[in-house]
Amino acid sequence: MTAEQLRSRLEFYRDLGIEYIYNRIGQTLAESAPEPVPEPVKVAPVTVLPTLEPAGDSLDQIRLDIGECRRCRLAEARHSIVFGSGNEKARIVFVGEGPGADEDEQGLPFVGRAGQLLTQMIDNTAAKEGIPIRRADVYICNVVKCRPPENRTPLPDEMQTCGQFLYRQLLAIRPKAICALGATAMKALLDTKEGITRQRGRWHKWRDIPVMVTYHPSYLLRQYNQQARREAWEDLKTLFHYVYD
Ligand code: URA
């Protein structure tokens, strides 16, 4: 293979989103190629933007398109696909990470302990701030729709595969704001390498929709951390006043 052919092969890999080509390929080629083999190139990651914005999209259509999904390994152990629930015309969409055991069993998001805390956070903050909403008025869904085994964090390819449906849900609802619950939702929506503690409590954007990042309720349950709880309540206050004032 000539250097030119190798370059074009590497460009092809780059277009597929492959970031690194390791030396073993170079060595094999070097043995057979008379020409010097260029250093393997490190190419910039390719950002795969969701292309999906079908005209007249709706939550029903998105659920139909998901079908009895087997697009990734999470299908193997799941019991239900947890699509999302709440008001289809919600002004706020809360995005979590992925279903846990209770959600997998019931087919609904945030119905276990973390869900109960989320319900309290929404209902109590709204009541305290004089904002006439309850959990049923918002929409709640997750980055991945199937429970990861042992509640592990979803892997990047699982997030990417399922993320297309999350993006369509957000575009179909077009809320006035999104609340990203925890680091997985934050990573699915924002191009950031910073941690949640730096990003929470501030406004970001997904496309043209404002995004408030806050702690995941499971984190607030695990860490009995009064400070984190206070901060999460503050984040919800900021979110509710922005949307409803
Ligand atoms: N944690 C999540 O991220 N989502 C759920 O639906 C439940 C727990």
- Which residues of the chain have a pLDDT value below 50? 17, 22-33, 49-50
Give the model's pLDDT for residue 50. 47
Closest atom of ligand 1 relative to the 185 alpha carbon: 3
Mutate to test the pocket of ligand 1, among 85, 97, 135 (most ligand atoms within 8 A of CB): 97
Burial zone of 102 (CB within 10 Å; 0-12 exposed, 13-18 middle, 19+ buried):
middle
Distance CA 166, CA 93 (A): 11
Mutate to test the pocket of ligand 1, among 83, 142, 151, 162 (most ligand atoms within 8 A of CB): 142
pTM of the complete model: 0.80
Distance CA 179, CA 105 (A): 25
**What number of CA atoms fall less than 13 Å from residue 84's CA on the CB side?**
31
Buried b (16+ CB within 10 A) or exposed e, 38-66: eebeebeeeeeeeeeeeeeeebeebeeeb
Tokens of 119: 């319900």
Task: Report all structural domains of the chain as residue ranges with CATH numbers, in order of start.
Answer: 3-48 (no CATH), 59-244 (3.40.470.10)
Give the model's pLDDT for residue 72. 98
Give the model's pLDDT for residue 85. 98
SS3 sequence, 1-49?
CCHHHHHHHHHHHHHCCCCCCCHHHHHHHHHHCCCCCCCCCCCCCCCCC
Q: Which tens digit of pLDDT belongs to each residue from 64-81? A: 999 999 999 999 999 999
- The number of helix segments (H) and strand segments (E) in the chain equals 10, 6
Quote the crossing angle between the two packed helices 156-173 and 182-189, to the nearest 10°: 70
Cross-strand partners of 94? 140, 179
Residues with CB under 6 A from ligand 1: 96-100, 103, 109-110, 112, 114-115, 142, 218
Give the model's pLDDT for residue 35. 57
